[in-house]
Amino acid sequence: PYDDDSGKHRGRRRIQGGRERLRKSLFMCAFTASRHNPDLAAFYKRLRGNGKEHLCAVIAVARKLVILANTILTRQTEWTPKYVNG
């Protein structure tokens, strides 16, 4: 995250680096997953319960998605949900 500080002013942190289309797509995937995927929704709710802001929690979900995707590709396995609907 980049800061926007000057003197006593403390601005909002934001992420600007990397490939914009990929970053936006990943954010939308994380936003949807934080509401509809039971495992990631539980992770999001835990972060929010611990006092994290909404956008910070969604970015954490996005990072977890990247880690899950890398792990699945590296191990050549399927993703198995922790929580099963039903």
CA–CA separation, 19 and 40 (whole Å): 24
The pLDDT of residue 28: 96
Report pLDDT for 11.
79
Task: Please name the residues in contact with 47: beta carbons below 8 A apart, sequence gap of 6 or more.
Answer: 56, 57, 60
The domain spans of the chain are: 20-75
pLDDT digits (tens, 9 = 90+) for 39-77: 999 999 999 999 999 998 999 999 999 999 999 999 999
- Looking at the predicted structure, is the pLDDT value of residue 15 above 60? yes
pLDDT, tens only, 17-47:
788 899 899 999 999 999 999 999 999 999 9
